[in-house]
């Protein structure tokens, strides 16, 4: 059972001088927070949701939009900004995929286009693993279908384009939904290891992407926010082939474990559903 942490407790902790460094998530040493659409700065004290069975039945809190999170208010706002960038157009194409670059608050956002249709996403899945590299240097091991897209990104000169478009900043945020989240993950881990940039990663409805050893290597190595929606089945895929990593934000659901996932309703994979809830709980 999660404890509900009030604003007063967080303020008391800050008063004791336990304050994260700039850019550091607030999760370490703090309880997970659950917040719903109530007057700002109130928490959802009281009722717990009823048990759910196999991801079929919704929580009994369906009259609330709420979030179970392990991130700071600072990262909430960056998550909101990142989610707002996941939309057309995507002017830079590589193979069948595309991306765009946005500059916001002196930081670069590299946003990879999603495959919003669940059936289209499944058709792209390959149940094999491949190593991936940055400029000839090994980065990690991931699912082959995503590595193929990443390799096309590199082969078509997109690394050079990102470096040029982001040349005036020191911080890149890689962002993606669904398949775009998978490609963004490979880019973020590559840039974290082999570039001059400070890297953050924001994913929405991501499948499991990295095999276990690579996932363990990169978990919490840099800022990673993984947002999953209640009953989004894509988050449950690839369980036999890899493992999730990063901090978890659960929209209308209660999971916050590193490798947690949801399952049940393909419509909840759509980015419009993600964005609507994110605007309500973080806006």
Query: pLDDT tens digits, residue range 167-226?
Result: 999 999 999 999 999 999 999 999 999 999 999 999 999 999 999 999 999 999 999 999
What pLDDT, on a 0 to 100 scale, did the predictor assign at position 140?
A: 98
| CA 49 to chain CA centroid, nearest Å | 24
Q: Which residues pair with 102 in a beta bridge?
A: 109
The pLDDT-based confidence of 264 (bands split at 50, 70, 90) is confident
Query: Please, what are the domains in the chain?
Result: 52-282 (3.40.50.1820)
Query: What is the pairing mode between strands 66-69 and 33-36?
Result: antiparallel
Give Cβ neighbours of residue 44 (< 8 Å, ≥ 6 apart).
4, 34, 35, 36, 38, 61, 64, 66
Q: Phi/psi at 144 (nearest 5 deg)?
A: -60, -40
Tell me the pLDDT tens digit for each residue of 65-103.
888 887 889 999 999 999 999 998 999 999 989 999 999
The pLDDT-based confidence of 118 (bands split at 50, 70, 90) is low
Residue 137, Cβ density class (10 Å: 0-12 exposed, 13-18 middle, ≥19 buried): exposed
Tell me the pLDDT tens digit for each residue of 140-157.
999 998 999 999 999 999
Q: Would the pLDDT of 267 be above 60?
A: yes
- Pinpoint the alpha helices (H) of 108-264: 118-123, 144-155, 158-165, 179-194, 212-218
What pLDDT, on a 0 to 100 scale, did the predictor assign at position 10?
A: 33
Nearest Cα to Cα of residue 125 among 27, 230, 263, 240: 240
Q: Would the pLDDT of 6 be above 50?
A: no
Tell me the pLDDT tens digit for each residue of 238-254.
767 789 999 999 999 98
What pLDDT, on a 0 to 100 scale, did the predictor assign at position 153?
A: 96
Distance of alpha carbon 210 from alpha carbon 58, whole angstroms:
29
How is residue 254 annotated by DSSP?
Answer: -
What pLDDT, on a 0 to 100 scale, did the predictor assign at position 125?
A: 65
Indicate the pTM of the whole model.
0.80
Residue pointed to by tokens 């990104």? 153
Distance of alpha carbon 178 from alpha carbon 2, whole angstroms:
28
Q: Which residues pair with 93 in a beta bridge?
A: 98
CA angle 129, 134, 138 (to 5 degrees): 55
Residues 107-119 have a mean pLDDT of 82
Q: Would the pLDDT of 57 be above 60?
A: no
What pLDDT, on a 0 to 100 scale, did the predictor assign at position 103?
A: 97
Helix, strand, or coil here: 52? Answer: coil
- State what percent of residues in the chain have pLDDT above 70: 72
């Amino acid at each position: 059972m999660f404890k509900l942490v009030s604003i007063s407790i967080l303020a008391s902790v800050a008063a004791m001088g336990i304050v994260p460094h700039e850019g550091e998530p607030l999760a370490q040493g703090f309880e997970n927070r659950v917040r719903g659409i109530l007057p700002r700065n109130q928490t959802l004290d009281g009722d717990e949701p009823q048990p759910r069975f196999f991801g079929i039945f919704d929580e009994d809190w369906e009259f609330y939009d709420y979030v179970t999170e392990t991130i700071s208010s600072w990262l909430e706002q960056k998550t909101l900004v990142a989610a707002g960038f996941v939309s057309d157009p995507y002017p830079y194409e590589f193979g069948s995929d595309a991306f765009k670059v946005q500059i916001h608050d002196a930081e670069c956002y590299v946003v990879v286009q999603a495959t919003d249709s669940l059936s289209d996403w499944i058709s792209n899945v390959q149940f094999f693993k491949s190593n991936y590299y940055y400029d000839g240097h090994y980065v990690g091991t991931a699912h082959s279908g995503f590595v193929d897209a990443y390799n096309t990104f590199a082969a078509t000169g997109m690394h050079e384009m990102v470096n040029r478009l982001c040349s005036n900043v020191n911080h890149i945020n890689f962002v993606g939904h669904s398949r775009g989240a998978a490609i963004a993950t490979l880019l973020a881990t590559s840039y974290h290891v082999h570039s001059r940039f400070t890297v953050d990663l924001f994913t929405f409805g991501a499948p499991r992407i990295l095999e276990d050893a690579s996932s363990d290597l990169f978990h919490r190595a840099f800022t990673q926010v993984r947002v999953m929606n209640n009953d989004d089945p894509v988050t449950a895929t690839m369980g036999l082939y890899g493992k999730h990593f990063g901090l978890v934000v659960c929209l209308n659901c209660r999971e916050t474990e590193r490798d947690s996932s949801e399952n049940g309703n393909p419509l909840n994979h759509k980015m419009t559903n993600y964005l609507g809830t994110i605007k309500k709980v973080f806006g």
